[in-house]
Amino acid sequence: MAVPDLRTQLTLEQPDRVADGLGGHVATWRQLGVIWAQMDAGSGREDGAISAVRWRITVRAAPVGNPRRPKAGQRFRQGERLFLIGAVAERDPQGDFLTCHAREENPT
């Protein structure tokens, strides 16, 4: 298996729930750090006013529990582009790399 070409810089972000002062909550996003990745576009679709593209984003592995290990519910940011992480799995038997299955949504 070829070594991934990790040359795309992404910021990993974690959602935090913050009280809105009216008895509810809003989600704010906190930066966890910069990660280098390989990005491979998958299928896309249009759903009304939103177009969505699936991405396979490969990053270096980190142990479970390490804040540098992406997990479902987090997102990657590249400038104004957002990639919502739906699932994360080891890419190789040695566990050197992770594949993050993410979705990018854009208004059409």
- C-alpha to C-alpha distance for 54 and 42, rounded to whole angstroms: 5
Task: Tell me if the pTM is above 0.85.
Answer: yes
Higher pLDDT, 10 or 2: 10
The contacts of residue 21 (CB under 8 Å, 6+ apart) are: none
Instruction: Give the per-residue pLDDT at 47.
Output: 74
Q: What is the mean pLDDT of the chain?
A: 91
| Contact residues for 83 (Cβ-Cβ < 8 A; gap 6+) | 10, 55, 57, 75, 76, 77, 102, 103, 104
In contact, 85 and 102? CB cutoff 8 Å: yes
Say whether 61 sits in a helix, a strand or coil: coil
Residue 108 pLDDT greater than 70, yes or no? no
pLDDT tens digit sequence for 10-61: 999 999 988 888 888 888 999 999 999 999 999 888 777 778 899 999 999 9
10 near 33, Cβ under 8 Å?
no
